[in-house]
Amino acid sequence: MSDIEDNELETLRKVGIKWSLLSCLYKVLREIDASLPPSLENKLEVARCIIETGCQKPQEAEKILKDVEEILAKRTNEKNNENLTVLLSKINSDPKPSEEILESPLMKNLVNDYQFLSYLISE
């Protein structure tokens, strides 16, 4: 593989992992706070489609996820939930989710529902 292809695959992997973590955070926050904007779920779906199908560059999904992350960060801060704040901080700092996150029921369900994730989170 060329350096360009390696870089593109790494970007795809990073964006896919970010999508999965934001999806988990969205689901948790939705259970706590039913007043989340409906557009968040739509944005997560559009980003997933971009990542899964490759119909656009992963950077396009990354832009969408940045918007989602900003809204979820605001709601997380409003809820003063330390666990959610830690998860949110890991979204951008960890190149790969920790085993604790990967073993969480939400993440396991996402990997079962979206097979492409198993390729992105494996080494």
Q: Which of the two residues, 53 and 119, has the higher pLDDT score?
A: 53
| Beta-carbon contacts of residue 15 (< 8 Å; ≥ 6 apart) | 47, 51, 58, 59, 61, 62, 65
Going by pLDDT thresholds of 50, 70 and 90, the confidence category of residue 8 is confident
Distance CA 108, CA 59 (A): 25
The model's pLDDT over 33-89, given as tens digits with 9 standing for 90+, comes to 767 888 999 999 999 999 988 899 999 999 999 999 988 888 877 766 677 777 777
At residue 41, the pLDDT reads 92
Q: Which of the two residues, 25 and 98, has the higher pLDDT score?
A: 25
At residue 123, the pLDDT reads 54
Q: What are phi and psi of 104, to 5 degrees?
A: -65, 150
pTM value is 0.79
At residue 80, the pLDDT reads 66
Q: Taking residues 1-27, what's their average pLDDT?
A: 82
